[in-house]
Amino acid sequence: MNISVIIPLFNEEESLRELFEWIKRVMTEHNLTYEVIFVNDGSTDHSWQVIEQLRDENPEVVRGIKFRRNYGKSPALYCGFAKAAGDVVITMDADLQDSPNEIPELYRMIKEDGYDLVSGYKMNRSKGDPLSKTIPTKLFNATARAVSGIHNLHDFNCGLKAYRKDVVKNIEVYGEMHRYIPFLAKNAGFTKIGEKRVHHQARKFGKSKFMGWNRFVNGYLDLLTLWFLNNFGLKPMHVFGFIGSLMFLLGFIAILVVGGTKLYHLHSGQSYPLVTNNPYFYIALTMMILGTQLFVAGFLGELVSRNAPERNNYQIEKEF
Ligand code: UDP
Ligand code: MG
């Protein structure tokens, strides 16, 4: 099979049929073999009934996964990825904002140009989305680029992406990490990451499922987590132990200064200044306590990671 199209959806009953017919048309025109995997993320409308109808009409291409409740876009993608059987896996949003006409070219870029992952880059965005969404998105992408080191991506969060099958079988999208799939892929060793400008339309039915500010707070925290996991996840002692030891050392030097000053005054017969009047005393105190704490945090981290079930999950590209 050439292509698996994965569509995570949450209350999108109005668009599903139109979207499916469009995908079908494009696939038939280009002679591509395909499957469409609808992942119903706990919709409370009639989305699932629509999917079942589509399945009855097109039993050989329509697949469905139905969550009992709403888990979020990332878990939906995760389960879709696990089920996908096509050589190239394409994800798209269910709201008709992403155009199925892009599929053949995305497929070609993976198959012929050898990309591991191609991310959509939404053009004519301003028409579809409000400013309150586009400006924070720019900020978000700039940070994501800087942290992930993937400098050629303008639009991390585009729902339309294409992957070589290996990629989706070897990454774990959880929480709200769908925004950082290129980063996850890169960390797993898939480095040929490209971008394609794609048409983007205003939402036709319903409204966006991601609104409000917590999307950015959570987004940034997730980015921090990924950065940390990637850099120190398997060796927490290297970061905490280092900072901890450094602080302890500085504290120790400060203690020497405090002790030295006291001894000097004692020796030279001057009046004894109180140790607590010496600013170095407080520096020493803080540094040594913080240093010990950080060191212990690093050590605990090591103990935890020794027991993590995925500690030896290394990416093996080929095996004989
Ligand atoms: N979605 C989902 N689970 C959720 C929220 C959203 O599966 O909890 C789906 C949604 O149905 C759509 C896609 O994720 O197919 C993108 O959502 P939306 O279009 O609302 O996001 P936006 O385009 O505003 O970023
Ligand atoms: Mg949308």
Q: Is 42 in the pocket of ligand 1 (CB under 6 A)?
A: no
What does the pLDDT look like over 175-189, one tens digit per residue? 889 999 999 999 999
Q: For residue range 132-176, what is the model confidence (pLDDT) as tens digits? A: 777 888 889 999 999 999 999 999 999 999 999 999 999 999 888
| Among 50, 95, 203, residue to substitute to test ligand 1 (most atoms within 8 Å of Cβ) | 95
Asked if residue 80 has its Cβ within 6 Å of ligand 1, the reply is no
pLDDT of 305 > 90? The answer is no
Q: Is 209 in the pocket of ligand 1 (CB under 6 A)?
A: yes
Give 262's pLDDT tier (boundaries 50, 70, 90): very high
Q: Shortest CA distance to 24 belongs to which of 121, 103, 108, 112? A: 103
Q: What is the pLDDT of residues 44-77, one digit of tens each?
A: 999 999 999 999 999 999 999 999 999 999 999 9
Dist CA 224 CA 157 (whole Å): 16
- pLDDT attached to residue 308: 79
70 Cα–ligand 1 center, Å? 11
8 lines ligand 1 (CB under 6 A): yes
Average pLDDT of every residue of the chain: 92
Q: Of all protein residues, whose CA lies closest to atom 19 belonging to ligand 1?
A: 208
Quote the pTM value.
Answer: 0.85
Question: What's the gap in Å between 43 CA and the centre of ligand 1?
Answer: 11
